[in-house]
């Protein structure tokens, strides 16, 4: 069963979803539960039910939005293409407080000419924060785009002690 619940954090309220295999999605709670369910079904082909998710998942989200070290929690990789899996699993190796460029991540993941495709993988990351796409920035400077807004990306990086600009 895929389920989700709302989680209050220091950076606002979010909805976190999971399958029996791990976390599948994190989205802002500014959208309605119905909008969340519809978007989830579009991505995963199933409607989640509103039920509590494991406390460890909620705690991991609360810790990371404080810039704290996060214990490892399972991620359900079944909704990702092999390319996305490779890129996002490589991204998990970028430590808190560090930033890397899209081209760096493309090279490190084994796709040296795919920086734009890496950017698309970041833009379609359904598990922001825990798959820390906020740590990837343009080589030309600045923080770049972020699905939850540039200001939130700046806050996350500042909380982690990263120097970006």
Q: How far apart are CA 19 and CA 73, in angstroms?
A: 13
Burial class (CB in 10 A: 0-12, 13-18, 19+), 118: buried
Catalytic-residue membership of 133: yes
Q: How far apart are CA 145 and CA 137, in angstroms?
A: 8
Cα 47-20-82 angle, rounded to 5 deg: 85
* Distance set, CA 12 to CA 1, 66, 71 (Å): 26, 11, 21
Catalytic residue among 99, 127, 133, 159: 133
Contact 57, 110 (CB under 8 A): no
Residues taking part in catalysis: 133
């Amino acid at each position: 069963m895929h389920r989700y619940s709302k989680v209050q954090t220091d950076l606002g309220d979010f909805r976190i979803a999971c399958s029996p295999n791990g976390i599948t999605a994190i989205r802002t709670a500014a959208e309605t539960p119905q909008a969340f369910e519809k978007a989830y079904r579009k991505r995963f082909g199933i409607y989640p039910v509103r039920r509590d998710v494991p406390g460890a998942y909620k705690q991991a989200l609360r810790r990371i939005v404080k810039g704290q070290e996060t214990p490892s929690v399972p991620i359900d990789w079944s909704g990702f293409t092999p390319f996305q899996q490779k890129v996002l699993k490589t991204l998990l190796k970028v430590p808190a407080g560090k930033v890397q460029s899209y081209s760096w991540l493309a090279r490190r993941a084994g796709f040296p000419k795919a920086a734009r495709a890496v950017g698309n993988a970041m833009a379609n990351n359904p598990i922001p924060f825990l798959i820390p796409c906020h740590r990837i920035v343009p080589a030309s400077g600045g923080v770049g785009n972020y699905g939850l807004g540039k200001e939130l990306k700046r806050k996350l990086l500042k909380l982690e002690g990263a120097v970006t600009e």
